[in-house]
């Protein structure tokens, strides 16, 4: 039951300033959304099937790392505007607008989105909706999902008895809207309070009005609102993530070519970025993209395009994925080549486990994937991350972890930087140089000042950066660790050139 007194004052969706909001699913997206909507002045009640998460949130603790979010959570719990529950009954009774933020992970077969959490949430909520309200999908879904959910609501919500939810033109019953989310982890609070656009996929003016009321403080900032149908709203989200992934893989493909002619991908990227039509954002080369969204979303998008009979249009996304995965192998190759082709029993210090800095998220993390590849070769791998080690331990138990570098640097044969945490960029090469066995650093994220590290006596390597020698051409299908197949008379020379060049020239 709702404990708030202000419900009678709260206007019905679309006709008043302050609808009461609920959030279903309190993960990275849902917890942020709940806290930020309370911060914007709404009364918010959030639910999750994970009771421990709800306990921690109720106690003022964010179950993941996101800058600024814990302070806002505590402040809004204190006002009483924000509450958490495990009761869907309470949610249904409380809310005028219900935001659905449950996970839509990759299916176990690696292809397509797993909608089971979303369907379960809707099927649990719908039969409890006995009065007019708006259900708003925020999760990322394949195009066409919202239309199916609207039909489920029409069938299961008691408030819709006798009404056709596809055609109702006011909130006489329960309606659906799709409002994709574009926040970035690490910047989740700022992105939610000040988004660069709002996308409303709606089937009626009444649903649009209810959404405008739910976002009134954001819209008042002048944020553009794009009002469209369900399918376009769903597609905006997957198209945006596909575009971002494409930009990253484009620059990483350029890094591959740079390596073949000993050119500098960082200078190339900078020169491209001055063209305002291209821009510099998402043009950072390195070890590629990861996380809980970009990789799974481009795969789910391809799967949906295949189902729709337009798979050929998105065939390039497979290539984007492959370029991305090759970067992980490339870093392993670089480490192996620098260590004379042998990784077994080498002591490697890996800097970073999170998929990006300012996050403890290790879902499809390039850093952990590289740590895993290195460990599988027999290397003795220690991973350092300031906040992601608890999650990393669960995801990759076979390696050693630490939260600080100095404790575990002794006798390292190489340091491999894979997540560009500020703490790592600020490392003192002279001090670290006294601890390690061999002063060799592979900066896979281009986070360090290479000249500074070289001046301190380190061999500094970074993918896509020049080495001083143009490597001999090697067959395209080469085996791992950068060892070219010794198929012809030049094979041995090519192999020697590739293995020796990066280290020999720099040490």
Q: Which helix (H) or strand (E) holds 325?
A: helix 315-338
Work out which of 76, 140, 145, 391 binds ligand UGA, going by CB under 6 A. Answer: 140
Residue 456 CB neighbours (<10 A): 16
Token pair of 421, please?
A: 């945490």
> Is position 290 annotated in a ligand binding site?
yes
Interface residues for ligand UGA in 222-241 (CB under 6 A)? 241
How far apart CA 402 and CA 429 sit, in angstroms, is 19
Nearer to ligand UGA, 355 or 401 (CB): 355
Q: How many residues make contact with ligand UGA (CB under 6 A)?
A: 22
Strand partners, 99: 23, 136
Say if strands 380-384 and 347-351 run parallel, antiparallel, or are unpaired. Answer: parallel
Q: How many residues make contact with ligand NAI (CB under 6 A)?
A: 26
E strands, 33-168, in order: 44-47, 82-85, 97-100, 133-137
Interface residues for ligand NAI in 3-62 (CB under 6 A)? 24-30, 47-50, 53
Q: What is the sign, positive or negative, of the torsion defined by CA atoms of 300, 302, 306, 308?
A: positive
Work out which of 96, 185, 321, 372 binds ligand UGA, going by CB under 6 A. Answer: 185
> Is position 200 annotated in a ligand binding site?
no
Q: Which among ligand UGA, ligand NAI, none contacts residue 26 (Cβ within 5 to 8 A by kind)? A: ligand NAI
Interface residues for ligand NAI in 180-199 (CB under 6 A)? 181, 183, 185
Contact at 8 Å (CB) between 346 and 382?
no
CB-count burial class (<10 Å; 0-12, 13-18, 19+) for 114: middle
Cβ 77 to ligand NAI shortest distance, Å? 18
Interface residues for ligand UGA in 344-373 (CB under 6 A)? 355-356, 366
> Is position 184 annotated in a ligand binding site?
yes
- Based on the shown chain and the rule CB under 6 A, indicate whether residue 178 belongs to the binding site for ligand NAI: no
Residue reference for tokens 């380190």: 458
- Based on the shown chain and the rule CB under 6 A, indicate whether residue 498 belongs to the binding site for ligand NAI: no
Which residues are catalytic, by number?
A: 293
- Based on the shown chain and the rule CB under 6 A, indicate whether residue 137 belongs to the binding site for ligand UGA: no
> Is position 283 annotated in a ligand binding site?
yes
Strand partners, 134: 97, 175
The candidate with the shortest Cα–Cα distance to 450, out of 435, 469, 465, is: 465
How far apart CA 368 and CA 392 sit, in angstroms, is 7
> Is position 82 annotated in a ligand binding site?
no
Binding-site residues for NAD(+), please? 48, 53, 104, 140, 185, 296, 363
Binding site for ligand NAI (CB under 6 A): 24-30, 47-50, 53, 101-104, 117, 120-121, 139-140, 181, 183, 185, 292-293
Binding-site residues for substrate, please? 182-185, 237, 282-286, 290, 356
């Amino acid at each position: 039951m709702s404990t708030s007194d202000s419900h009678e004052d709260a206007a019905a969706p679309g006709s008043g300033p302050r609808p009461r909001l609920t959030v279903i699913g309190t993960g990275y997206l849902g917890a942020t959304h709940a806290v930020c909507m309370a911060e914007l002045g709404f009364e918010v009640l959030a639910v999750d099937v994970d009771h421990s998460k709800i306990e921690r949130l109720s106690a003022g603790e964010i179950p993941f790392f996101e800058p600024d979010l814990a302070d806002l959570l505590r402040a809004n719990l204190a006002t009483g505007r924000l509450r958490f529950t495990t009761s869907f009954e309470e949610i249904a009774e409380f809310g005028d607008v219900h935001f659905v933020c449950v996970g839509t992970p990759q299916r176990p077969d690696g292809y397509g989105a797993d909608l089971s959490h979303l369907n379960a949430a809707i099927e649990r909520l719908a039969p409890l909706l006995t009065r007019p309200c708006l259900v708003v999908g925020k999760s990322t879904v394949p195009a066409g999902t919202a239309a199916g959910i609207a039909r489920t609501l029409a069938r299961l919500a008691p408030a819709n008895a006798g009404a056709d939810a596809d055609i109702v033109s006011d909130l006489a019953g329960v309606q659906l809207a799709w409002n994709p989310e574009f926040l970035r982890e690490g910047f989740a609070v700022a992105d939610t309070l000040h988004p660069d656009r709002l996308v409303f996929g709606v089937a009626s003016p009444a649903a649009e009005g209810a959404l405008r009321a739910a976002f009134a403080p954001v819209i008042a900032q002048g944020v553009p609102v794009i009002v469209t149908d369900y399918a376009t709203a769903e597609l905006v989200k997957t198209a945006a993530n596909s575009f971002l992934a494409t930009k990253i893989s484009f620059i990483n493909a350029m890094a591959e070519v740079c390596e073949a002619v000993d050119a500098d991908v960082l200078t190339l990227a900078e020169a491209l970025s001055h063209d305002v039509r291209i821009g510099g954002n998402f043009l950072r080369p390195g070890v590629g993209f990861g996380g809980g969204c970009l990789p799974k979303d481009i795969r789910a998008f391809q799967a949906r395009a295949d189902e729709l009979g337009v798979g050929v249009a998105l065939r390039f996304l497979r290539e984007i994925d492959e370029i991305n995965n090759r970067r992980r192998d490339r870093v392993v190759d670089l480490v192996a080549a620098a260590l004379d082709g042998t990784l077994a029993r080498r002591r490697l210090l890996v800097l970073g486990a999170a998929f990006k800095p300012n996050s403890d998220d290790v879902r499809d993390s390039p850093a952990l994937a590289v740590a895993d590849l290195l460990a599988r070769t027999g290397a003795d791998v220690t991973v350092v991350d300031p906040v992601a080690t608890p999650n990393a331990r669960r995801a990759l138990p076979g390696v050693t972890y630490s939260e600080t570098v100095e404790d575990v640097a002794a006798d390292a044969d190489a340091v491999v930087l894979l997540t560009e945490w500020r703490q790592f960029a600020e490392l003192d090469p002279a001090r670290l140089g006294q601890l390690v066995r061999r002063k060799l650093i592979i900066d896979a994220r281009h986070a360090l000042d290479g000249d500074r590290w070289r001046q301190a006596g380190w061999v500094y390597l970074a993918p896509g950066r020049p080495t001083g020698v143009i490597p001999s051409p090697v067959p395209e299908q080469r085996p791992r660790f950068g060892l070219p197949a010794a198929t012809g008379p030049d094979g041995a020379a090519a192999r020697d050139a590739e293995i020796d060049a990066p280290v020999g020239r720099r040490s």
